[in-house]
Structure formats: C-alpha cells, structure tokens
Amino acid sequence: MKTKTSELRAKDPAQLQQELLDLLKAQFGLRMQHATQQLGNTNQLRNVRRDIARTRTILSQKVKQS
C-alpha cells in the first residue's frame, strides 16, 4: 500500500487530508490486529507509519506554499 511521493504531490490539500485520515484508520486497524496477534506481516505497520509521515510532510509543504 506504499504511496509514491509523486502521487501525493499531485493532490490538493483536501485530498491529502482525506488520505491522511484513511492512513490513520488503517494504522489503527493494524495496531488492533497486532495487539490481538492476528497480524502476520508486521512490516505493514512500518509502511503505514512512513506513509503517514510522507503525507503529513507534503501536506505541510503545500500549506506553507498557499
């Protein structure tokens, strides 16, 4: 589910905000799966966390440009 930076840069701030909410929900779901030991691939947590950071960085850059 890795998001490319170029795809994120093409979106406007409202779309980035929605993407961030979706990623945060996905992270919560993965954390719950991990806590109940239903998560087989724990790398998913790391990838989602990095996607969240990537999205927040680009969102803040776009807000500063406006």
Q: Where are the domains of the chain?
A: 5-65
Q: Which residue has the higher pLDDT, 22 or 1?
A: 22
> What are the residue ranges of helices labelled H in the chain?
5-9, 13-35, 43-65
Per-residue pLDDT of 12-66, as tens digits, reads: 999 999 999 999 999 999 999 999 999 999 999 999 999 999 999 999 999 998 7
Q: Which residue has the higher pLDDT, 61 or 2?
A: 61
Instruction: Give SS3 for 2.
Output: coil
Architecture of domain 5-65: Orthogonal Bundle (1.10)
How many angstroms separate the Cα of 34 from the Cα of each of 29, 37, 48, 53, 58? 9, 5, 13, 20, 28
